[in-house]
Structure 1
Amino acid sequence: MPKQPKTIQEQIALLQSRNMQFIDINNTPQSLSTISYYRLKGYWWEMQDDSINHHFAPNSYFENVIDLYNFDRHFRLIVFNAIERIEIALRTKLIYHLSLGYSAEWYLNPSIFQDPKRFTSFVDKIKMDMKNSSEEFIVKHFENHPNEMPESWKALEVITLGTLSKLYSNLKHQLPEKNNIAKEFGLNNQKYLVSWLLTITVLRNIIAHHGRLWNRVIINKYDWPSSTPKPILSYIPTNHQRRKIFPILSAIIYMNNQISSDNHIRQELFDLFAQFPNVQLSKMGFPANWKNEPIWQ
């Protein structure tokens, strides 16, 4: 039977009955009127000492839940900006290398792709994306050239990171351009870039839908190289460790360092962690000595 909706005052009363504490309960209605009770559940779940009856452990404060929520909101923005740099760099590298090697319309050339079905699906998708695009340069292209598909530097601007990742993944393994792109991201083998991009796309989509990153379990499995031109971590994360964000976040920082060595992502994270010192980074897979890991130094 569906649960019945509750007023904000009823939500507060329910939290109180479950031993949630409040430093200033007068501020609570404002918080619950702008951030839903259900959304906040993901942040107070770890505070429970009885997950069946949803009873909170002693010294569980609602204000700490809001702090954790605000930390996660800022954390998502930093990670999203880092992923955006990767997306733009990937798009640029695909356009540059493959246009020079296989013409401006290389993305329509089936001979350079592995899987014909995936290729056909991609072409159908990109045609639909361009048909629905309101981007001025796409609209103008079809006004001037109604029977011609645009060059890759136009076409790839309207597709998502997920589609870009699948496009790169489906390129034939023997294409030198595929390995060259991986090397420009600091990876000796294209399979690691394919694997990382798929997981980074999952993170990007979580963030785009305002999902929680703190204490998130990364369901998508990804590979980890035994070595890289510049060290990332002092160890190879186990599959279990990769279920938390720390390893893939380290990979994102590494890729950003290949794009631009003077990026400020690490410093932005250090500043955020200092702003919210009570946040348990271990819940995101950060090891005790994480600051000593190569990519974080």
Structure 2
Amino acid sequence: MSYYRLSGYWYPFRLRDEQNQTTNKFEPDTNSVDVVFLYETDRKLRSLILDAIERVEIAVRTQFTYHIGHKYLAFGHTDKNNFHPKFKHAEWLKKLETEVLRSSDDFIRHYKSKYAGFPKIPIWMLTEVMSLGALSFGYNGLINDQKSGIEDKKAVAQHFNLHHKKLGDWLHTLTYVRNICAHHSRLWNRLNPTKIKIAIGYRQ
């Protein structure tokens, strides 16, 4: 590992001068062994976080798939009328198309060889190659209008005993954290730009 990579772990131990500027001096008793320990701890933390996010992602994918598939059928995700009017539906579909074309999964190749309309594929296939970011974006585009009786976000979030807005906030945050972990970036001592509320009480 490079010195520059390690610098993020020793930075908090650098002393500041009277103008609050970071100096090249360190807190007493700071040593390289402690810095490397922090690095290794962060590496293990990222591994644990990725394992946990995978479970959440698959669970939300499943509920998103079931709801879209049962209510709007196999290609319901391609109809902009099934989403909020302000949702950037065309932009979302373009991102999904890129993810489908990038996939090398056998089931994608099989569908392409046998059915017309590719890269448009059924929702239950799509969510298997859909990134967490695209899933989060798609969930937030769902309609949730109590007056009209269309509460698609609520229908997905209810499975997790969460308010639909909290689930949206969590998906946004988990996407950010997952990207950090997937790119092996520093997770320890990092400020999350999105503030979310912890949901107290949930069903397993």
**TM-score, normalised by the number of residues in structure 1:** 0.62
Q: In 1, Cα distance between the equivalents of 2:188 and 2:22?
A: 22
Matching residue of 1:209: 183
**Contact in 1 for aligned 2:14/2:25 (Cα 8 Å):** yes
The residue number in structure 2 matching 1:70 is: 40
Distance 1:206 1:91 in 2: 21
Give the equivalent residue in structure 2 for 1:195. 169
Superposed structure 1 runs of 4+ greater than 4 Å apart: none
- Paired residues in the alignment total 195
Q: Point out which structure has higher relative CO (alpha carbons under 8 A, 6+ apart).
A: 2
- Alignment partner, residue 169 of structure 1: 140
Question: 2:117 aligned to 126, 140, 147, which one?
Answer: 147
> Which residue identity is paired with 2:121?
P
Aligned 1:134-283 pairs, distance under 5 A:
134-147=104-117, 149-174=120-145, 175-187=150-162, 189-222=163-196, 224=197, 228=200, 230=201, 258=203, 261=204
Partners of 1:39 and 1:115 lie apart in 2 by: 44
Q: Name the structure with the higher strand share.
A: 2
RMSD: 1.8
Q: CA deviation at 1:117?
A: 5.6
Question: Which residue in the other structure is 1:36 paired with?
Answer: 2
- Give the 3 Å change call, closer, same or farther, for CA 103–54 of structure 1 in structure 2: same
Q: State the shift of 1:124 in Å.
A: 1.5
Give the match's secondary structure for 1:221. Answer: coil
Q: One-letter code of the match for 1:197?
A: L
The TM-score with structure 2 as length reference comes to 0.88
Q: Given residue 215 of structure 1, which amino acid in structure 2 is its aligned partner?
A: N
Deviation at 1:98, TM superposition (A): 1.8
2:102 equivalent in structure 1: 132
Aligned mates of 1:45, 1:147 — CA distance in 2: 53
> Is 1:59 the counterpart of 2:29 in the alignment?
yes
Distance 1:180-1:138 versus aligned 2 partners, 3 A rule: same
Larger Rg: 1
Letter in 2 for 1:186: N
Residue deviations 1:32-61, cap 9 Å, x none? xxx111111111112112353321121111
Q: Does residue 119 of the first structure (1) align with residue 73 of the second (2)?
A: no
Separation (CA, whole Å) in 1 of partners of 2:183 and 2:87 = 29
Instruction: Give structure 1 stretches of 5+ with no counterpart.
Output: 1-34, 231-253, 262-297
Q: Is the 8 A contact 1:110 1:116 kept in 2?
A: no
Q: Deviations over 1:103-156 (max 9, x none)?
A: 111211211101466111111121222122211111110110132532111112
The letter of the residue matching 1:93 is Q
CA distance in 1, matches of 2:179, 2:127: 19
Rounded to whole Å, the distance in 2 between the matches of 1:161 and 1:65 is 32
1:279 counterpart residue number: none
- Contact 2:142/2:153 (8 A) holds in 1: yes
Paired letter, 1:221: K
Deviations along 1:89-108, one digit per CA (max 9) or x if unpaired, are 11111111221111111211
CA contact (8 A) 2:139 2:168 kept: yes
- The whole-number CA distance in structure 1 between the counterparts of 2:117 and 2:191 is 46
